[in-house]
Amino acid sequence: MLKRKIKITETDIHIHSGLLNSATEKEHVFHFENSQPTLRVFENKQLLRTFNIEPLSSNPDLTGQFLHSSIRILDNESVMIDGIISRYPNEHPDWKSDDYEAIRFQPFFLNSNEQENHKLKGQGLFVRGLHFSGTVTPSGVRTVCICDYCNRSFTLQHFHAGFSESQYFYSSDSKQTLVIKYSKIPNLPTQLQESISERQLKEIEEQLPSPTTGNGTYRYFNSFRCPHCSDPFIDFHSNPNSRPNEYYGYRLINQDFQTVE
């Protein structure tokens, strides 16, 4: 029987579905030929995802660099891709290195299980398979996400709010993220806190500063929005019960957090 195959052409990933859809994994070193490369994924010649690899301000030109990657297709038809950027084709830094720069691409399902992609609409990054409970994602790992509405990619950087003993708030347009230490405001909700007083939350939100970038206000249940079309990506309005468990706070790549001193 024909097995599923993964073929790489430059920065294009071609998945050829066969009759036997067993789990498949392929390791590959991509060579970047421009400063902001694009990774495209095809299934049987149909373009499924386009991931733009936005560079960090500390490493603004990826031309000539390499992505040491792992491409996995699981038994449930999900595709998971991640990798580590390196200046060398035969080695890369590990997560303890100062120059560790890794990328995790948003997982998705192949056409045969497309209905599972729809179930992920508006969900947080744990449900989407970009973080895992019980495993800390190093801060040097950035995530390349795909909007559920416009299908364009954007890149997020994160911090572990629980370890930082902080709470985060997204601005109305998600152009900026506010981070506040628990000690700064009385009754500030903590990570994983399920019971939250609406009255106290309103009092807290009235004390928050205005964003210094973009428009709107900071609110605990503000969704994180796509920077291209502004539709909700992490939709806390539709999924309010997920908010306490999303203990990673996000910012758009190369954007600074706003803090309260």
Tens digits of per-residue pLDDT, 14-32? 998 765 567 889 999 999 9
End-to-end Cα distance, the chain: 63
pLDDT class for 214, splitting at 50, 70, 90?
A: confident
- Please provide residue 117's backbone torsions phi and psi, each rounded to the nearest 5 degrees: -65, -40
Q: In this predicted structure, what is the pLDDT of residue 243?
A: 95
What length is written for the chain?
261
Reduced to 3 states (helix: H, G, I; strand: E, B; else coil), residue 119 is helix
Q: State the average pLDDT over residues 144-164.
A: 97
**261/137: higher pLDDT:** 137
Q: State the average pLDDT over residues 159-185.
A: 96
pLDDT class for 75, splitting at 50, 70, 90?
A: confident
Rounded Cα distance between 41 and 8, Å, is 10
> Which of 218, 220, 217 minimizes the C-alpha distance to 193?
220
pLDDT class for 49, splitting at 50, 70, 90?
A: very high
Q: In this predicted structure, what is the pLDDT of residue 96?
A: 85
- Res. 212: pLDDT tops 60: yes
Do residues 16 and 10 touch, judged by C-beta distance below 8 A?
no
- Res. 245: pLDDT tops 60: yes
Do residues 79 and 109 touch, judged by C-beta distance below 8 A?
yes
Q: What is the pLDDT of residues 98-118, one digit of tens each?
A: 889 999 999 999 998 999 999
Rounded Cα distance between 33 and 62, Å, is 8
- Res. 205: pLDDT tops 90: yes
> At which residue do the structure tokens 């950087």 appear?
157
Above pLDDT 70, what percent of the chain? 97
Q: State the average pLDDT over residues 113-130.
A: 95
Helix residue ranges, H only, 82-225:
114-119, 198-206
Whole-number mean pLDDT of the chain? 94
Q: In this predicted structure, what is the pLDDT of residue 21?
A: 63
Reduced to 3 states (helix: H, G, I; strand: E, B; else coil), residue 204 is helix
Q: In this predicted structure, what is the pLDDT of residue 20?
A: 53
Do residues 140 and 251 touch, judged by C-beta distance below 8 A?
no
DSSP annotation of 203: H
pLDDT class for 2, splitting at 50, 70, 90?
A: low
- Res. 81: pLDDT tops 70: yes
Burial class (CB in 10 A: 0-12, 13-18, 19+), 144: buried
Rounded Cα distance between 246 and 131, Å, is 10
Which H or E run includes 143?
Answer: strand 141-146
